[in-house]
Structure 1
Amino acid sequence: MEKSDEMVTPGEILGRATDLNAGKGAYVASKNNTIYASLTGFRRIQPSPPGSPDQKPTVEVTGHKAHGPVPEPGSVVIARVTKVMARTASADIMCVGPKSVREKFTGIIRQQDVRATEIDKVDMHLSFRPGDIVRAVVLSLGDARAYYLSTAKNELGVVSAESSAGATMVPISWTEMQCPLTSQIEQRKVAKVVS
């Protein structure tokens, strides 16, 4: 085994898919046939096993100590919205499934991934606000080391939000939440409560 102590973080290029296979902690972006790191750790190259029909070595990312769960396409995550813009909302991923993450992962919810219907009418500022806690599913590792997230299913969306009065709001429909103190109603992309 060739040991390489080069530290890499999610989104860093590890090599070309024409020369290497993607192993643990790595994935191939089909659009440019490039292998990227999906987690923080050390880049290692494993030679292919003798007699293997595929003679390409495998690149993997291993050995990072603070290793908690890592978001992967298809995993359900809980994230806190940090910034809302006209076409996207940014969020810090806090949990992958039931486990809390140990390192910082950023997610981006794009306008087209907020809900399944009337996508062109989505107003990001009426769907999310900074501080909202959302349940989302990871679509892919997007650009700039952020995961693309989707809230386009009924059970995905805002699960907890604070009103301007500082109270935890109660969902009253799939697009509205109400402050229990002031009865003020605010627009959100609400996650359906799974009972």
Structure 2
Amino acid sequence: MAASTICIPGQRLGSTEEFQAGKGTYTRQGYVYSSLAGFRHESKQGEDLPELQVLLEDQQTVVPEVGSVVTVKMTSVNPRFCRCAILSVEGTPLTQSFRGMIRREDIRATEKDKVEVYKSYRPGDVVLARILSLGDAQWYLLSTAENELGVVLAQSEAGVNMVPISWCEMVCPKTHSKEFRKVARVQPQYLIQPAGT
């Protein structure tokens, strides 16, 4: 995403050959213009032209969509599914919270009948998942049935961040105890860079 800049109403933002109009913008004679005072944002989705938006706050308003990769934090785990809070979509932090659910059959791509939810996720784990659909009662149905998806951050019982040692185990560097997890093989585009790097 390009750095956001301040816009005023009527300001020309770009050509309709390069961009499509989003929230807070309009098109006229082949150009996209700002319809309000705010911050300019660009977002790219798939093969479409980048979308230009003008938002009142200097932050993106994103909504999870089917197919998006999201970062979630596990809130509860039971033998059939786990519930989570969606923290970010495609690396963009959310301004409001959304609820997600990963069913037992959506945890792994193979040997689905042998999956044990508690050996994959625990409350507090930070997980990369893909949105399958909008389920009942505003719960997003999520999947981690890809090698790139799964636990990216987990704390041991000693309160230390654990280190992955295989696709299904993590170890506590303090106590050296091992715990089962569905570990993600994280792709660089999903890593959020710390400020100043």
TM-score, structure 2 as length reference = 0.65
Q: Secondary structure at the residue paired with 1:125?
A: helix
Equivalent position of 1:108 in the other structure: 101
Indicate the percent of aligned positions where both proteins have the same amino acid. Answer: 51
CA RMSD in angstroms comes to 2.0
The 1:148/1:95 distance shift into structure 2, 3 A limit, reads same
The 1:140/1:64 distance shift into structure 2, 3 A limit, reads farther
Equivalent position of 2:161 in the other structure: 168
- CA distance, structure 2, for counterparts of residue 143 and residue 90 of structure 1: 13
Residue type at the aligned position of 1:124: V
Q: Which runs of 5+ in 1 are unaligned?
A: 1-23, 25-62
Equivalent position of 2:76 in the other structure: 83
| Shift, 1:67, TM fit | 7.0
Indicate which of 151, 160, 171 corresponds to 1:158.
Answer: 151
Aligned residues: 134
Equivalent position of 2:29 in the other structure: none
Contact 2:125 2:151 in 1 (8 A): yes
| Shift, 1:130, TM fit | 0.1
| Shift, 1:184, TM fit | 0.4
Equivalent position of 2:139 in the other structure: 146
Q: Secondary structure at the residue paired with 2:86?
A: strand
| Shift, 1:89, TM fit | 0.4
Q: How does 1:69-80 map to 2 (within 5 A)?
A: 69-80=62-73
- Displacement over 4 Å in runs of 4+: 63-67
